[in-house]
Amino acid sequence: MLFASIVLTILILVCGSIYYFSYTNRLNSFKTRLTNWAITTSRLLSQSAVFDPQMILTIDASTMLAMKGKTVQAYDELNNMIYIYSDSTADTIQFPKDILNRTRKEGDTYFSFGNRDAISHYYHDKNFNVVTVAAAFDEVGKQKLVQLSYILLFSFAGGILIAIAAGYLFSKGLLIPLRKIADEIKEISVQNLAGRIKAGEGKDEWNYLAETVNQLLYRLQDGFEIHRRFISNASHELSTPLTSISSQLEISLNREREASEYRVTMESIHQDVRQLSRLTQTLLEFARASGDPGGLEIDLVRIDEVLLALPGEITKLNQSHKVKLVFEKLPDEDEKLLVFGNEELLITALRNITVNACKYSDNHLATIKLVSQNNLINIYIEDEGKGIPEEELQNIFQPFYRVSNNRNIKGFGLGLSLANQIIKLHKGQINVHSEMGKGTEFIIALPTAGNLSKKRGSP
C-alpha cells in the first residue's frame, strides 16, 4: 500500500503538471494569435485611404481559418462600433464598455465571452484611435486538451493498477522470507536452543538477518550452558557440607553419647555451616556482580585507600597470611587514582586474588604494587608460590574450576571468576603470568574515573 501510494502521488504530480502546462500553453498561444489579428485589423482600418472596408472584411474572412466563431470589432473613442467582421452574420454581440475603457487605460485586456476567448487592443496613432476586440473559439486547442486529459486519465488508471499489482508482488516477495524466519524462530525454545535458522547462499538482507539471529542463538546457547554448569556445580558444592552435616547428626543421634562427643560433632558441624555460609555469600556476590550494573551503588573509589586497608583485612582472616604494599610512580593528581565503581565489589575482587597469592604460596606472602599509567591504574599482585601449569591458566577464571595441583588446599573455585566478573564490570581486565616453581603474578588494569567518564559515563 505504501509503495502504491508513493506511485499514486508521483502520478498525480506528473499528470497534473502535464495538464496544467498544456492548458497555459494553449491559452498563451491563442492569446498571441488573437492579439496579432486585432493589431493587423487596426492597422488596416487606420489606412482607410488604401484599404476600403470591403477589402478589410475579405482579408479578415480569410485569416485564422482554423478558429470557430471568429469576430473582430473596432470601436472609436466614444465606444461606437465603426467596424465589425463576424463568421456568422447573426453575430451582433456588443462588447462591454468598461472593458473598452479599461483597454484604453491599461492596454491589452484578455477576457472570455461566452465560450469564446477575447482580446481587446488599443491602437492609436496621430489621427486614428481605435479599440479593436478579437474573439474566437479555440476548437482545435480545446479538443487537443480534452484528448490529452483522456490520455492522462488512462495512463493514471493504468499506472495505479500496475503499481498496486507490483506493490503486492514486491511485498509478497519481501515478506515470505521474513515469515519463514519468524516461523523458524517460533520452533526454537529454551529446551531446543540448538536449532538454527536456514540462511540461504545469497548475500541479501534476509541472510544477514538469519545469520545475526543464529549468532544470537549461539550466544544464548553458550550462556544457558554456562548457567546450567554453574547451577550444577553450585548444587554440588552446597550438597557436600549438607550431606556431611546430615550424616554427622544421624550418627550422633544413633545412641546416647558423652557431652564431649557431642561437642566434637557440633564443632565439625559448625565448620561445615561456616563453609556453607561462605559459599552462599560468594554465590550472592556472584549474582550481584553478574546482574545489571544499574542496580549497584556507584561512586568514586580511591584505589590506593582500598589497597591500604587490604593487609589488615587479610591478616584478620588468616594470621599466617601477609601482604606487602609497594606504591610506585604514584601520580600527583588524585584523579589518576580514582575509579568509578562499587567499592565493596572492588574490595572483594582484590581480596580474592590477594588471598589466593597467600594461600597458594609456602611463605604466605603477597606483594601488591600500584602503578599509575596514563589513564589506567595497574595493580600487580605477586607471590612466590608453586605457580599454575600453563595449560590450566586459561581455565582458572571459569566458575568452580580448581587447578589440579592445589586440590588439597580448601576452596570453591569461585574466587577468581568472581574477581574477573567484577573487574569486567568496571571496564577493566585481568592478566596473569605464572611460572612453575617461581610464582604467579596477576595484573589488574582499571580505567580511571576521568577516562571512563570520557568514554561512557559509568560502569
Footprint of ligand ADP (CB under 6 A) = 352, 356-357, 360, 383, 385, 388, 396, 401-403, 406, 411-417, 440
Which residue, 15 or 430, is less far from ligand ADP as judged by CB?
A: 430
Q: Which residue lies nearer to ligand ADP by CB, 6 or 231?
A: 231
Orientation angle between helical segments 139-187 and 2-46, nearest 10 degrees: 170
Q: At what angle do helices 343-359 and 259-290 cross, to 10 degrees?
A: 130
Cβ atoms within 10 Å, residue 15: 18
CB of 282 to ligand ADP, least distance (A): 9
Q: Which residues contact 95 (CB under 8 A, 6 or more apart)?
A: 73, 75, 113, 118, 120, 133, 135
Name the packing angle between helices 259-290 and 415-425 (round to 10°): 30
Q: Is 210 within 8 Å of 181 (Cβ atoms)? A: yes
Which residue is nearest to ligand ADP, using beta carbons? 411
Rounded Cα distance, 104 and 121, in Å: 8
- Closest CB to ligand ADP among 109 and 440? 440
Joined together, the cell numbers standing for residue 406 give 592445589
Exposed/middle/buried for 88, CB within 10 Å: 0-12, 13-18, 19+? exposed
The DSSP 8-state label assigned to residue 384 in this structure reads -
Centroid of chain to Cα 130: 74
* 414/452 with CB nearer ligand ADP: 414
What's the min distance (Å) between Cβ of 241 and ligand ADP?
15
Residue 206 or 401 having the CB closest to ligand ADP = 401
Of the two residues 141 and 385, which places its CB atom closer to ligand ADP in the complex? 385
> Which of residues 148 and 238 has its CB atom nearest to ligand ADP in the complex?
238
Torsion of CA 367, 373, 375, 381, to 10 degrees: -10
**Residue ranges with strand state E in 209-309:** 299-302
